[in-house]
Amino acid sequence: MSNMSYCMFRNTRDDLEDCLNVLGGGSEHFQSRKDIDREEYNAFRRVVDICRAIVRMDDNDNHVFVVDGDGYE
C-alpha cells in the first residue's frame, strides 16, 4: 500500500520501529531466523540495503535532504 506524500516518512518510521522491535526480540511471532520464510527474509535484506542507502545520503552534498543540522527535531 502506498503512502500519501505528506505522511510517507511518518508512516515508514512507525513501520521501521515495528520491525526494529521484532528484530530486538520484542515479538512473540518471530523469535529466530527460522520463524520467517525465504521471501520474508529476502524482504528484510532489501530493507537493510535501503536503510544503508539512506544513511549514505548524508555524505552526498548534492542531496536535497540534510540529515543533521537541518533545524527539524
The answer to whether residues 40 and 60 belong to one domain is yes
pTM over 0.75: no
**Which grid cell is 42?**
529476502
Count Cα atoms within 13 angstroms, Cβ side, for 55. Answer: 6
- Same domain (yes/no): 22, 43: no
Residues 19 and 43 both lie in one domain: no
Q: Do 67 and 41 sit in the same domain of this protein?
A: yes
Structural domain for 10, as ranges: 1-31
Owner of C-alpha cell 530486538: 24
pLDDT in tens, 22-46: 887 766 666 667 778 889 889 989 9
- Higher-pLDDT residue of 58 and 23 is 23
CA distance 36 to 41: 6
- The number of domains in the chain is 2
